[in-house]
């Protein structure tokens, strides 16, 4: 496969994970990086052996990428994607797809009009215990999925919010725990249980007085299949406990994954210290497999750098999707669903009523 000319937009902390993936993949040719802070772009480019740009149009015109990877703060995702699409350039966007539905719609429309691919990063779909769950659900091993739960008890301290000037503010982050830490598991919940009909939710800031956004949120979900779901997500438990997604079926069987132990990792600041594991598996005839699954996944964890490995797999998938003319692992439309989910929670809390999906931008 010929290497895809690829550029990176946004030279912050998570940008390094993607740059490391791009320079390690034979499918990629990193032809440039772009950041509004020119000095940061220069230093970043020097580290990865490529060219620096401070303007997306200059990057597109001069480096001539076939694809970009967008790693800017959430409210700044749309502009480079739209400009890239107009230039016929594909885009893979860090989670969430955007901070607003209006930005999602602008990106999707631009990609659709240009015939370019738009993907969103949700690398936890590639975790082996997550894939094992998805395969079991698709095979009907729990009967019909009837209840899904997502629970995150994590932690972020004041130093984290001070690490970048955009963190913790509505205008520059777009939200708190729902927008920043929860999109991976929101994505898994809707991937496992399907289309959503209605959401009721609340949010609060319970112990982070120095930030504007929420550190805790709760929601109830009714899926179009009739299944129910619940969300409890928080970064207010010091030092961080766990993050789990469980699905319970009509035959009484349950499957689950602990995607994160302790606090979820922070790109560029911390790494994944413990392996993701299936923590529940009561499928009839397979109850004894849980210990084997955990042993396999612990052994695999010792052979990889989990902090970068799954990003690398998703970037690789996106590059193959370009060459093969197929959708990427997580298309932009599915990224929009996650933005709908947290937008519905915000609107439900604001209006004190359930919110029906699909949503339109306000």
Per-residue confidence (pLDDT) for residue 218, from 0 to 100: 98
In a domain, 345, yes or no: yes
Q: Are residues 226 and 256 in the same domain?
A: yes
Q: Are residues 68 and 39 in the same domain?
A: yes
Q: Are residues 211 and 296 in the same domain?
A: yes
Report phi then psi at 238, rounded to 5. Answer: -85, 130
Q: Within a 13 Å sphere around the CA of 52, how many CA atoms are in the beta-carbon half?
A: 17
Residue 271: which CATH number? 3.30.360.10
In a domain, 292, yes or no: yes
Low-confidence ranges of the chain (pLDDT < 70): none
Per-residue confidence (pLDDT) for residue 1, from 0 to 100: 72
Per-residue confidence (pLDDT) for residue 134, from 0 to 100: 98
Is the bond leading into 28 cis (omega within 30 degrees of zero)? no
Q: Are residues 144 and 242 in the same domain?
A: yes
Per-residue confidence (pLDDT) for residue 258, from 0 to 100: 98
In a domain, 360, yes or no: no
Compute the distance between CA of residue 14 and CA of residue 6 in angstroms, rounded to an integer.
16
Do residues 302 and 308 touch, judged by C-beta distance below 8 A?
no
Q: Containing domain of residue 248, as a range? A: 124-304+339-350
Per-residue confidence (pLDDT) for residue 65, from 0 to 100: 98
Residue 91: which CATH number? 3.40.50.720
Per-residue confidence (pLDDT) for residue 2, from 0 to 100: 85
Do residues 216 and 177 touch, judged by C-beta distance below 8 A?
yes
Q: Are residues 116 and 208 in the same domain?
A: no
Judge if pTM exceeds 0.95: yes
Compute the distance between CA of residue 93 and CA of residue 15 in angstroms, rounded to an integer.
11
Cross-strand partners of 58:
none
Q: Are residues 175 and 289 in the same domain?
A: yes
Q: Are residues 156 and 114 in the same domain?
A: no
Compute the distance between CA of residue 332 and CA of residue 91 in angstroms, rounded to an integer.
10
Rg (CA), the chain: 20
Q: Are residues 80 and 43 in the same domain?
A: yes
Per-residue confidence (pLDDT) for residue 85, from 0 to 100: 98
């Amino acid at each position: 496969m010929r290497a895809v000319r690829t550029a990176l937009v946004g030279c912050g902390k998570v940008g390094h994970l993607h740059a490391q993936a791009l320079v390690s993949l034979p499918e990629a040719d990193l032809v440039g990086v772009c950041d509004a802070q020119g000095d940061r772009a220069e230093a970043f480019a020097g580290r990865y052996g490529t060219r620096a740009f401070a303007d997306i149009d200059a990057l597109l015109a001069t480096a001539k990428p076939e694809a970009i990877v967008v790693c800017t703060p959430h409210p700044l995702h749309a502009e480079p994607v739209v400009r890239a699409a107009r230039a016929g350039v594909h885009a893979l966007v860090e989670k969430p797809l955007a901070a607003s539905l209006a930005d999602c719609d602008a990106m999707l429309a631009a990609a659709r009009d240009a015939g370019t691919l738009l993907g969103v990063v949700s690398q936890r779909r590639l975790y082996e215990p997550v894939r094992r769950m998805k395969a079991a659900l698709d095979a009907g091993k729990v009967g019909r999925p009837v209840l899904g739960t997502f629970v995150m008890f994590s932690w972020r301290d004041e130093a984290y919010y001070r690490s970048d000037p955009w963190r913790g503010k509505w205008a520059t982050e777009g939200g708190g725990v729902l927008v920043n830490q929860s999109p991976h598991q929101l994505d898994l919940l809707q991937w496992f249980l399907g289309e959503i009909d209605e959401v009721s939710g609340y949010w609060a800031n319970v112990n982070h007085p120095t930030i504007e956004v929420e550190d805790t949120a709760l929601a109830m979900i009714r899926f179009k299949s009739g299944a129910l779901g619940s969300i409890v997500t928080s970064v207010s438990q010091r030092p961080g406990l766990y993050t789990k997604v469980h699905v319970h079926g009509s035959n009484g069987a349950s499957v689950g994954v602990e995607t994160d132990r302790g606090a979820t990792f922070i790109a560029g600041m911390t790494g994944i210290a413990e392996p993701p594991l299936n923590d529940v598996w009561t499928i009839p005839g397979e109850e004894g497999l849980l210990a084997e699954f955990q042993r396999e996944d612990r052994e695999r964890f010792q052979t990889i750098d989990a902090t970068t490995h799954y990003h690398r797999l998703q970037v690789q998938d996106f590059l193959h999707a370009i060459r093969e003319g197929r959708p990427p692992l997580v298309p932009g439309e599915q990224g929009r669903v996650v933005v709908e989910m947290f937008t519905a929670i915000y609107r439900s809390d604001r209006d004190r009523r359930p919110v029906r999906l699909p949503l339109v931008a306000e």
